[in-house]
Structures are given as C-alpha cells and as structure tokens.
Amino acid sequence: MNRRTAIAAAAAALLGLTAACGPNEGGTKSDDGVLKVGATFASTTLDPARLPIRQMAMYTAPLYDSLTLLGSDESVQPLLATKWTPGGDAEGPYLDMTLRAGLKFPDGTAFTSKTVAANVKRSQTLKGSTNAPQLAGVTVEERGAAEVRFRAKSGVGALPRILSGSAGQMISDKAIADGADLTRTPAGIGPFTLQRVQANRVVYTASKNYWDAKAAAAGSLEIAYLADDAKLNAVRSGDLDVTILPEKMVKPAETAGYKIERSMGSENYVFSFNTAMKPFDDIRVRRAVNSALDRKAICQGLLDGKCEPNGQFFGAGTKAYAPGVDLKLVPYDLAKAKSLVSEAGATGAKVEIVTVAGNQVFEQLATIVQEQLKKIGLDASVAAVAPPQVVSRFTAEKNVAMAFGATGNAFDPSDTLDRYGLAKGLYNPGGMKNDKVEKLAKDALRETDQAKRMAIYQQISTVIAESMLNVPVLTPETAYVIAPGVSGWKAPWAPSFPSFRGVKG
C-alpha cells in the first residue's frame, strides 16, 4: 500500500465514524439563534489595518462595516457608502462617494467624511499596516459631511472593490485620534458587537440599534478555527453550522444527510518562479515545467475532479478569468518538456519547492509537481514549512526557486496582479517584467467601468503566460456543509470571505 492509499484508507476509517450520526441525531440544535461558522485561519488581531492575510477580514467584517460590499457574484454594493461616481478634471481621475448619513459609532462619534479621511491616513501611515499597498497614492477630499472625493493619479478603477475589504472598514475617528489598540477592542459600526475572544474562537452578539435591522439575523455569531479533520464532527455535534469541508469528508457528510453547497471561487493554486535563480532564469525551463503537468489528471487525482484544470493567471470562478482558453496556453507534453530542459543545459539542476505545511492538499500537490520535474530531468525536492516561512524564504531570503501559493484571495484583481504578476511584486522576487502586462495593468486601474475592467484582466490572464512567470495548476471547488436550520447563506466570491449579513443560525 503506497502512502497516498494509506492516507485515504485511514481517512475513510475515521470518516466512517463521523458519518454514523446525521443532522437530526443528537448534538445541539442549529436553529438556536447562534450562527457558528468554521474558519480556515485563526484570528490574530481584530485591527482591520493589521490583518496578516486578507482572509482574516472575516473576523473584522462583523464589527466594521466597509464603505462598499462585494457580493457573492462580485457585484459592488452599497454599505456605508450609498453611491459613487467616477470622474476626472485637470488634477486627474477621481471617485466621488456619498456616505450614509446619521450614523454614529458606539463611542458616540458621528460617521462623516472626516472619518473616511482619518481611516485612509491611518491605513497609509500606521506601522505594520497591511492596507497601505492597496491605498498607496490615494488622497481623500472632504466635500461636506456626507461626501468624499478619492483621488489617485494611477486611476480610481479599483477603489470600489478595494474599499469593500479591510481597506474600507471604517474605524471611529476618536479611536484613531486616541491611538487605541484595536487588537481586541474594536471601534466600528457593524451588525455585531464583540463579546469575547478565546483560543481559536471569536464570539459576537447582535448590535443594538444597528442601521440595517435585517443584517444580524442571528442573535449571536461564533467564528471558530478547527483542524480540517475535526470539522464534520463539529457540525454533527452542533459546534458548527457552516464550514468548508475537505473533499474527503463531503461524501460522508452527504450520506449522513447534510446539505452541501459547492462554489467555484477566485482562488487559484499556483506555483511561482524566482526567475533570477537558475535554472528558472531560462524561459525554456519555465516552459518545460508548465508542459510537464497533466492538469486534468492532477485535478482528478488530487480533488476527485472537483476543480477546474487551469492554465491561466486568474482563477476559473472569477470574472477576471478568460473563458474559452482552456489549457491551450500550457498543453501537456512530457517529451517536449524533457527536451526543453536538455536544450537549456539544465538536466540535473537542483530545484527546491516550498509549500505550506499542515495542509494535506497543498503538500500532495507540491509532491506531484516534484515527481513531474524529476521526470523531465530536474533534481526537485519539497520543503513543507509554516506559511510565514514560505513567504520569507521566497520573497526575503530568496533562496528557493519555486513557491506554492493559493492566489486570488483579494477584493480586486489588481491586488493579486500587483503581488504575483508585476515586476515589483512581492511574489516575483526575480523582478521579471512583461511590458504588455504592465501596460494593461495601468489601463485597468484607469478604467472605471467594472465590466470593462474585467475584460482587461481577462487579457492579462492570458498575456502573462508569454513570460511563463507562474505555473497555474487548478481552481478548486469549495464545498460548504450547511446544518439544518441555517437560512440566508450564500457562497462567497472566494472561500474565506463569507458575508454573515442576513444569515440565521
């Protein structure tokens, strides 16, 4: 029995136990007024400007309304801003936003144009701010109490989507002026109020007199981080109402009678090259790696076909994905891949791949890629390390040639492109530049019609393949298990960005 078969057998044995009880056999009632949601990551801070990864915005969204809301269909919807209009004048492009009037923070401070200006300034200047890159070059003009004008010389096209995330989550002016520590003491207008923070669990209660009475449909909200193997049992016992399930648990959950909802989001499983390191300074070797992967077979073997084999930059579930391209940009051809490696004089070259430890799918995918690289003559190895080490080794120490990343977890495609596809991108340590991509990226920022912007990103999604900067592999389907009694749930635009507005537990 090989390692993968052994893992599958052990998982099947374990899941046989979890499937023994169904949704109506024991456990806590799910319609108890408490919405209990499973998270992919544990919370480390509740400060919107200091979230180490974008996905942690799910912990701050209940406490801080953002200016806009990104719907499950990627539509930009009103929230603290009721409308917005782009324009331009002699000073350049701008975006006018009208703010929801008459709102106050829990500390009594009024929500006004001054609030927006103070928040943008804080995000740009706060030490350790993770919002700063998204708001670089943005200025705010106060045009009366309920209107602001955003300006950015590079363009304002991305702002409506960017301001639906942590960069647009509004903090009380007073808390900002006082230099309040928001790590565990929030100061926002939101449908929920913080009750307590526990190890791997954050508990909220519905806010009183919140402006949108239907938003907090549940009396309480709990967001808990659990290991993947514990999630189905947590649903069965009533400890979770909604959570992402690993693919291996889906069939047992369905057999036990639970509702499963699938969604193809914006997330994309991608390997990035350090193009300054041999052998990937040679485009022939980068092309060889892309040709060495049978993406359809990987999709079927790794995720039981519950994914979309993908050969382009953006994920298959996003509007930035170019339809009809399929795998034409990266056709599978092992013989050609081996020939390219030989032609580049790279046969026997050592290649280290870093991936995220503790995630079985990520580790298995890296191992599959490793084996394919060996078949084309590269001496490949895999190092599974903690997420911060993946980032550090690839982007700061720059001592590994390839790194795995789940891309697309950004409120606007420009953010993903900035980090992974442009010359100055964090995950492009070799500084590889594609002039066509750089130009299109600027065009997308200047364009303010969201449909036209997505058409530009569809171009980028294919043009970027010319330089073979990345190795896109697949876009996974996300399976959500939903307990009986839950209503109002909608699968989000990306796996870790759910909206709890109107969801009842």
CATH of 1-55+190-258+483-505, one of 3.30.43.10, 3.40.1410.10, 3.40.50.1240, 3.40.190.10: 3.40.190.10
Residue 307: closest CA among 272, 334, 271, 267: 267
Query: How big is the chain, counted in residues?
Result: 505
Least confident of 3-17, 65-79, 184-198, 391-405: 3-17
* Amino acid symbol at 496: S
Q: How far is CA 374 from CA 289, 367, 368, 369, 377, in A?
A: 10, 11, 10, 9, 5
pLDDT in tens, 24-73: 554 445 567 999 999 988 999 999 999 998 899 999 999 999 999 999 99
Give ∠ CA 223-187-115 in degrees, rounded to 5: 130
Are the CB atoms for 274 and 428 separated by under 8 Å?
no
Pick the CATH number of 268-478 from 3.40.50.1000, 2.40.160.20, 3.40.50.880, 3.10.105.10: 3.10.105.10
Residue 487 DSSP one-character state: B
What the block records as the tokens of 480 is 């959500």
- Report residue 8's pLDDT band, with 50, 70 and 90 as the boundaries: very low
Q: Reply yes or no on whether the pLDDT at 13 is more than 60.
A: no
Nearest Cα residue to 164 out of 102, 96, 80, 221: 80
Rg (CA), the chain: 23
**pTM (2 d.p.):** 0.91
Q: Where in the chain is the domain with CATH 3.90.76.10?
A: 64-177
Q: List the one residue out of 205, 221, 203, 176 whose CA is nearest residue 47.
A: 176
> pLDDT for 451-463, tens place per residue?
999 999 999 999 9
Q: Are 471 and 285 in contact (CB under 8 A)?
A: no
Closest CA to 165 of 492, 505, 502, 504: 492
DSSP classification of residue 300: H
The ranges of the chain annotated as CATH 3.10.105.10 are 268-478
CATH of domain 64-177: 3.90.76.10
